[in-house]
Amino acid sequence: MIQNKFNEVDRRIFSFPAVHPCESVSPATLLGSLIVLSQNIGNYQSKFFATQRRNSREAIRKIGILLVFFEEIHDRGLILPETAVLCFSELHLTFQKIRFLLEDCSREGARLWILMKSEMVVTHFRVLIRTVATAFDILPLNSMDICSEVKELVELVAKQARKARIENDPNDERAMRRVLSVLDRFEKGIEPEFQVLKWVLDYLEIKTWSDCNKEIKFLEEQWVESEEREVPFLSSLLGFMCYCRVRIFDTLDYQNADQTDVRCNMEVLSCLNPEDFRCPISLELMMDPVTVSTGQTYDRSSIQRWLKAGHTICPKSGEKLTNTELVPNTSLRKLIHQFCADNGVSLAKTGKKTRDITRTILPGSPAAAEAMKFLSRIVARNLVFGTSEQKNKAAYEIRLLAKANIFSRSCLIEAGTIPPLLNLLYSFNKSIQENAIAALLKLSKHANGKKIVVENGGLRSIVAVLKRGISLEAKQIAAATIFYLSSVKGYRRLIGEIDETIPALVDLIKEGTPCAEKNGVVALFGLALYHGNRQRVIDAGTIPLLLHIIASSNKDELIVDSLALLAMLAECLDGTLAILQASSFPLITRILQSTTSQVGKEHCVSIFLSCCTNGGDEAVAVLAKDTSVMSSLYSVTTDGTAQASKKARSLIKMLHKFHETSSSGQGCQAFTHEQSVHVW
């Protein structure tokens, strides 16, 4: 089959990247490819079409008849005249587009969107069927040696394609009008009737909570990729479907539910430095990060301009590019968008705002706003008065809804969901406790959410989950919640003064899983921003754990976070002593020389500077024994940030002064602190 290199998994809906066969393609290859394409289209006969059923069936039926024609030519080994090759070439292009259209119409999760785009879909079918008819105008059918029955079938298909009435299904129109009426009621602040919602979902055969959730995920993806003019409508549909998920379905269907949303977010919790999200070429936040053959990641527009200018090497590494393929870095893209949503950062693309994340403070449309307010009240009511199962579902709904945007968090907080969620933390049901703490994690990203958690005595409840949670996941989420709460300066002291907090975080790190280590480290980092907590962190035995992570972990982000906390603790005398007693200078030196993170290098320099400042000449002497340190420090002075360069220069001066003193025969001054230090 004639192939194109397009990855269909990444294809946007209603985009048809069909490839026209080249002029030099052999008739046999073209015919074989047409047969395969026709068979592929025929396979859609078994697919479910929630809408566009008649148009889809007609397209599949017509191409099924033409498949008989193509197979007849193939079996007879006929030589195709030039005009037939031209006809088949046009059909090949059109059949590709029909296959893409059928794929969209039967796509899982896109049922509501296809319904609301019915007019556009009908137009696509009409144009493609007419194109099939036009292609047959140049086919010399009478001069081709095929049986009369097949000729009659082909003539019939061509005639039907010319006269076909491709129209919207009246039932589709009725369903679409009902959705629009619901959106209109939302916009007027009126709750829609349950029976109307149920009728629409039944028509689309959205039968379970998971089916509904797939529709929401699809609409969210469209929202990110859509044109500015489509945002209000997409937001309204998202509000409609979220309301349906909460109102219509009483039971959570976990078979397809996204149970990894919090685990995945925990893995990126420590990405606090937006510099990691900047394109090495443009130095702007990457809107569409792609990875080249060397493994480096750039913003698509920047690397495309680089390649268009004729460059054949990787801008960052200088290695020769083995090919110019750009692979979408979807994980980084999601991470950037989540970071921006959490921190109110605006993203720019080619001078224009794309899905401006800061706009999530406001609803995407009036209908979406009212829908969110209605369903917030529903989940709040279920948290208080519902059965155990209803409370669990309400907590899980909040866990998902609060993840979406700032406006949703605000509505949920105003509806009074935080106090009953705090009560659920003491549940003996594993699922309820996990969903409740995960919901609180999302709400604690909002300033008012943090305040209400603290005012309702939530700190001790969260620490109780951290210490005695039913599952490791609940403990990990509790640590992440503490991290967000510690972003408020006044709360760091309150959290640290709870005796169990810091020891429980250290115990979490000892669990040894990447997520547990990361959440524990960043939560301790947040608490250690308050100077009064640093001694508690040191006394809990954190430094040996951090050094173990730095020495053994293969997670670069976790290593950088551990270095950040270690640098902060090194500023204390007891922190310096613990670092020196562990003989950790060779390890820190190795990280300084090997890490590609400028932030990581700065933390290494900070650790050395604090240890040499607090530890005196004995600490400097240990560092001076490694002759490779000086070259690494000089590298930081030229390539590092202004702050890192300043620290490196201070450390270089210390080392130079030590060498000058040593060479003049004055020797090393004795370590003057009361507590002796054994550095080896």
pLDDT of 469-502, one tens digit each? 999 999 999 999 999 999 888 999 999 999 999 9
Within 10 A of 20 (CB to CB), how many other CB atoms are there?
A: 13
Q: Return the DSSP state at 290.
A: E
pTM for the whole thing? 0.79
Residue whose pair of structure tokens reads 């979490």 in the numeric block: 508
Residues contacting 614, CB < 8 A, separation 6+: 570, 571, 572, 573, 576, 673
Give the start-end residues of each E strand in 527-667: none
Tens of pLDDT, residue by residue over 417-432, are 999 999 999 999 999 9
Q: Return the DSSP state at 626.
A: -
Contact 552, 517 (CB under 8 A): no
Give the start-end residues of each E strand in 633-680: none
Residue 639 pLDDT: 83
Within 10 A of 651 (CB to CB), how many other CB atoms are there?
A: 24
**Mapping DSSP to helix (H, G, I), strand (E, B) and coil, where does residue 509 land?**
helix
Q: Which amino acid is at 468?
A: R
Residue 301 pLDDT: 87
Contact 117, 29 (CB under 8 A): no
Q: Tell whether the model's pLDDT for residue 190 goes beyond 70.
A: yes
577 is written with which tokens?
């002593």
- Number of H helices and E strands in the chain, helices first, is 32, 5
Distances in whole angstroms, Cα of residue 519 to Cα of each of 356, 486, 529, 551, 555: 29, 13, 16, 18, 13
Kindly indicate the confidence band of residue 677, based on its pLDDT and cuts at 50, 70 and 90.
very low
Q: Return the DSSP state at 542.
A: H
Residue 522 pLDDT: 93
Tens of pLDDT, residue by residue over 50-86, are 999 999 999 999 999 999 999 999 888 888 888 888 9
Give the start-end residues of each E strand in 405-490: none
Measured CA to CA, the distance from residue 389 to residue 393 in angstroms comes to 6
Residues contacting 432, CB < 8 A, separation 6+: 388, 391, 392, 395, 424
Q: Which of 108-122, 315-329, 495-509 has the lowest mean pLDDT?
A: 315-329
Q: Tell whether the model's pLDDT for residue 670 goes beyond 70.
A: no
Kindly indicate the confidence band of residue 143, based on its pLDDT and cuts at 50, 70 and 90.
confident
φ, ψ for residue 320, nearest 5 deg: -75, 135
Q: Which of 57-66, 329-338, 374-383 has the lowest mean pLDDT?
A: 329-338
Residue 260 pLDDT: 43
Measured CA to CA, the distance from residue 85 to residue 78 in angstroms comes to 12
Residue whose pair of structure tokens reads 């000086």 in the numeric block: 630
Residue 371 pLDDT: 96
Measured CA to CA, the distance from residue 629 to residue 297 in angstroms comes to 29
Measured CA to CA, the distance from residue 98 to residue 675 in angstroms comes to 80
Q: Return the DSSP state at 320.
A: B
Within 10 A of 415 (CB to CB), how many other CB atoms are there?
A: 20
Residue 79 pLDDT: 85
Measured CA to CA, the distance from residue 48 to residue 615 in angstroms comes to 72
What number is the average pLDDT over the span 113-120? 96
Residue 64 pLDDT: 94
Kindly indicate the confidence band of residue 281, based on its pLDDT and cuts at 50, 70 and 90.
confident
Tens of pLDDT, residue by residue over 218-262, are 998 888 777 888 889 999 999 999 999 999 999 988 644 444 444
Residue 476 pLDDT: 95
Measured CA to CA, the distance from residue 496 to residue 528 in angstroms comes to 9
Residues contacting 477, CB < 8 A, separation 6+: 262, 266, 434, 437, 438, 441, 465, 519
Kindly indicate the confidence band of residue 680, based on its pLDDT and cuts at 50, 70 and 90.
very low
Distances in whole angstroms, Cα of residue 414 to Cα of each of 62, 372, 376, 409, 485: 56, 11, 9, 9, 18
Rg of the chain taking only CA atoms, in angstroms: 32
Kindly indicate the confidence band of residue 3, based on its pLDDT and cuts at 50, 70 and 90.
low
Measured CA to CA, the distance from residue 534 to residue 569 in angstroms comes to 6
Give the 3-state DSSP-derived string for 149-216, with helices as H, strands as E and coil as C. HHHHHHHHHHHHHHHCCCCCCHHHHHHHHHHHHHHHHHHCCCCCCHHHHHHHHHHCCCCCHHHHHHHH
**Mapping DSSP to helix (H, G, I), strand (E, B) and coil, where does residue 121 land?**
helix
Q: Tell whether the model's pLDDT for residue 453 goes beyond 60.
A: yes
Please report, rounded to a whole number, the percentage of residues in the chain having pLDDT higher than 70.
88
CA quadruple 94, 100, 103, 109: dihedral sign: negative
